[in-house]
Amino acid sequence: DALGEGTGRRALAALALTVVAMAGSLRSAVAHERLASRVDTRVAAQQWLAANAAPGSRVLVVGTVFFPWGAPQVPKGLVQAALPARGAGLARAGIDFVVAHDHELFWSTVDPGWLAAQGRALELVAEFDPRAGASDATPVFEVNDAYYLPIAGFSGVATGGPHVWIYRVRRGGGLERK
Protein backbone atom coordinates (compact mmCIF):
# COMPACT_ATOMS: atom_id res chain seq x y z
CA ASP A 1 0.00 0.00 0.00
CA ALA A 2 1.43 3.31 -1.15
CA LEU A 3 0.24 5.33 1.85
CA GLY A 4 1.90 3.01 4.38
CA GLU A 5 5.11 2.89 2.36
CA GLY A 6 5.36 6.72 2.26
CA THR A 7 4.70 7.00 5.99
CA GLY A 8 7.40 4.42 6.74
CA ARG A 9 9.94 6.30 4.62
CA ARG A 10 9.09 9.58 6.33
CA ALA A 11 9.45 7.96 9.76
CA LEU A 12 12.81 6.46 8.77
CA ALA A 13 13.98 9.83 7.43
CA ALA A 14 12.86 11.55 10.65
CA LEU A 15 14.73 8.96 12.71
CA ALA A 16 17.89 9.41 10.62
CA LEU A 17 17.72 13.21 11.02
CA THR A 18 17.24 12.83 14.78
CA VAL A 19 20.28 10.56 15.05
CA VAL A 20 22.40 13.00 13.02
CA ALA A 21 21.19 15.94 15.13
CA MET A 22 22.03 14.14 18.38
CA ALA A 23 25.42 12.79 17.31
CA GLY A 24 27.36 15.88 18.44
CA SER A 25 25.70 15.90 21.84
CA LEU A 26 26.32 12.19 22.25
CA ARG A 27 30.01 12.61 21.34
CA SER A 28 30.32 15.44 23.89
CA ALA A 29 28.60 13.43 26.61
CA VAL A 30 30.86 10.44 26.01
CA ALA A 31 34.00 12.63 25.99
CA HIS A 32 32.91 14.34 29.22
CA GLU A 33 32.20 11.03 30.95
CA ARG A 34 35.55 9.64 29.78
CA LEU A 35 37.34 12.54 31.49
CA ALA A 36 35.12 12.42 34.58
CA SER A 37 35.98 8.75 35.08
CA ARG A 38 39.69 9.50 35.39
CA VAL A 39 41.46 10.47 38.61
CA ASP A 40 41.34 14.25 39.02
CA THR A 41 44.69 15.96 39.62
CA ARG A 42 43.53 17.12 43.07
CA VAL A 43 42.74 13.55 44.08
CA ALA A 44 46.07 12.35 42.67
CA ALA A 45 47.88 15.01 44.72
CA GLN A 46 45.98 14.02 47.86
CA GLN A 47 46.84 10.36 47.27
CA TRP A 48 50.50 11.23 46.73
CA LEU A 49 50.63 13.15 50.01
CA ALA A 50 48.89 10.33 51.88
CA ALA A 51 51.45 7.84 50.55
CA ASN A 52 54.60 9.97 50.85
CA ALA A 53 54.25 12.52 53.67
CA ALA A 54 54.97 11.49 57.24
CA PRO A 55 52.03 11.68 59.66
CA GLY A 56 51.79 15.16 61.15
CA SER A 57 53.53 16.82 58.18
CA ARG A 58 52.49 20.44 57.74
CA VAL A 59 51.19 21.24 54.25
CA LEU A 60 50.75 24.73 52.82
CA VAL A 61 48.29 24.94 49.89
CA VAL A 62 48.75 27.96 47.60
CA GLY A 63 46.72 29.04 44.61
CA THR A 64 43.29 29.16 46.23
CA VAL A 65 41.27 32.27 45.35
CA PHE A 66 38.29 33.02 47.62
CA PHE A 67 36.85 29.52 47.91
CA PRO A 68 38.70 26.22 48.37
CA TRP A 69 36.75 24.32 45.69
CA GLY A 70 39.71 24.06 43.36
CA ALA A 71 42.26 23.19 46.01
CA PRO A 72 43.64 19.71 46.58
CA GLN A 73 42.56 18.48 50.01
CA VAL A 74 45.13 17.75 52.69
CA PRO A 75 44.77 14.09 53.75
CA LYS A 76 43.85 13.04 57.27
CA GLY A 77 46.88 12.73 59.48
CA LEU A 78 48.54 15.77 57.91
CA VAL A 79 48.12 19.39 59.01
CA GLN A 80 47.03 22.18 56.67
CA ALA A 81 49.31 25.12 57.45
CA ALA A 82 48.72 28.83 56.99
CA LEU A 83 51.07 31.05 55.00
CA PRO A 84 53.79 32.19 57.42
CA ALA A 85 54.04 35.84 58.42
CA ARG A 86 56.43 38.01 56.46
CA GLY A 87 59.99 37.07 57.26
CA ALA A 88 59.15 33.80 59.00
CA GLY A 89 60.15 31.56 56.12
CA LEU A 90 58.60 28.22 55.25
CA ALA A 91 61.12 25.99 57.03
CA ARG A 92 61.15 28.10 60.20
CA ALA A 93 57.34 28.00 60.20
CA GLY A 94 57.58 24.21 60.24
CA ILE A 95 56.04 23.71 56.80
CA ASP A 96 57.07 20.42 55.22
CA PHE A 97 55.28 20.57 51.85
CA VAL A 98 53.86 23.25 49.58
CA VAL A 99 51.05 22.24 47.22
CA ALA A 100 50.50 24.76 44.43
CA HIS A 101 47.51 24.60 42.08
CA ASP A 102 46.97 26.70 38.97
CA HIS A 103 44.42 26.69 36.16
CA GLU A 104 42.92 29.04 33.61
CA LEU A 105 39.87 29.12 35.87
CA PHE A 106 40.01 31.96 38.36
CA TRP A 107 39.65 29.69 41.40
CA SER A 108 43.18 28.26 41.11
CA THR A 109 45.78 30.95 40.62
CA VAL A 110 49.33 30.64 41.91
CA ASP A 111 51.28 33.85 42.35
CA PRO A 112 54.31 33.00 40.17
CA GLY A 113 56.32 35.75 41.85
CA TRP A 114 55.82 34.23 45.29
CA LEU A 115 56.62 30.75 44.05
CA ALA A 116 59.75 31.94 42.22
CA ALA A 117 60.85 33.91 45.29
CA GLN A 118 61.01 30.68 47.29
CA GLY A 119 63.92 29.65 45.08
CA ARG A 120 65.99 26.80 46.45
CA ALA A 121 63.79 26.50 49.54
CA LEU A 122 61.48 24.24 47.52
CA GLU A 123 62.22 20.92 45.85
CA LEU A 124 59.66 19.68 43.30
CA VAL A 125 58.70 16.13 44.28
CA ALA A 126 55.47 15.52 42.31
CA GLU A 127 53.52 17.12 39.48
CA PHE A 128 50.02 16.42 38.20
CA ASP A 129 49.32 18.08 34.85
CA PRO A 130 45.79 17.71 33.46
CA ARG A 131 47.12 18.34 29.95
CA ALA A 132 49.91 15.75 30.01
CA GLY A 133 49.41 13.47 27.02
CA ALA A 134 46.48 15.53 25.69
CA SER A 135 46.14 16.99 22.21
CA ASP A 136 46.81 20.61 21.31
CA ALA A 137 43.08 21.32 21.30
CA THR A 138 42.01 24.27 23.43
CA PRO A 139 39.63 23.18 26.17
CA VAL A 140 36.70 25.47 26.98
CA PHE A 141 35.71 25.82 30.64
CA GLU A 142 32.67 27.30 32.36
CA VAL A 143 34.35 30.40 33.83
CA ASN A 144 31.70 31.18 36.45
CA ASP A 145 32.00 27.80 38.13
CA ALA A 146 34.90 25.96 39.72
CA TYR A 147 34.24 22.99 37.45
CA TYR A 148 37.56 21.69 36.21
CA LEU A 149 36.27 19.60 33.31
CA PRO A 150 35.83 21.29 29.94
CA ILE A 151 32.47 21.89 28.32
CA ALA A 152 34.11 21.71 24.87
CA GLY A 153 37.55 20.92 23.48
CA PHE A 154 37.65 17.71 25.51
CA SER A 155 40.78 16.33 23.85
CA GLY A 156 42.77 19.30 25.20
CA VAL A 157 42.94 17.70 28.65
CA ALA A 158 43.77 14.18 29.76
CA THR A 159 42.02 14.46 33.13
CA GLY A 160 40.16 17.00 35.23
CA GLY A 161 41.60 19.37 37.80
CA PRO A 162 44.13 22.17 38.00
CA HIS A 163 47.84 21.77 37.35
CA VAL A 164 49.24 20.71 40.74
CA TRP A 165 52.84 20.82 41.94
CA ILE A 166 53.99 19.38 45.25
CA TYR A 167 57.20 20.74 46.72
CA ARG A 168 59.16 19.52 49.71
CA VAL A 169 60.45 22.39 51.85
CA ARG A 170 64.20 22.14 52.24
CA ARG A 171 65.42 22.66 55.78
CA GLY A 172 67.77 25.61 56.16
CA GLY A 173 65.96 27.40 53.30
CA GLY A 174 62.62 29.09 53.26
CA LEU A 175 62.20 32.62 52.06
CA GLU A 176 59.70 35.22 53.01
CA ARG A 177 56.15 35.88 52.08
CA LYS A 178 55.84 38.93 49.89
**What are 23-74's pLDDT values in tens digits?**
778 888 888 999 999 999 999 999 999 999 999 999 999 998 878 878 899 9
What pLDDT does 37 receive?
A: 94
- Contact in structure between 139 and 156 (CB atoms under 8 Å): yes
What pLDDT does 158 receive?
A: 94
Q: What global pTM score does this model have?
A: 0.83
What pLDDT does 88 receive?
A: 73
What pLDDT does 4 receive?
A: 59
Burial class (CB in 10 A: 0-12, 13-18, 19+), 82: exposed
Q: Residue 175: name the closest of 102, 111, 85, 99 by CA.
A: 85
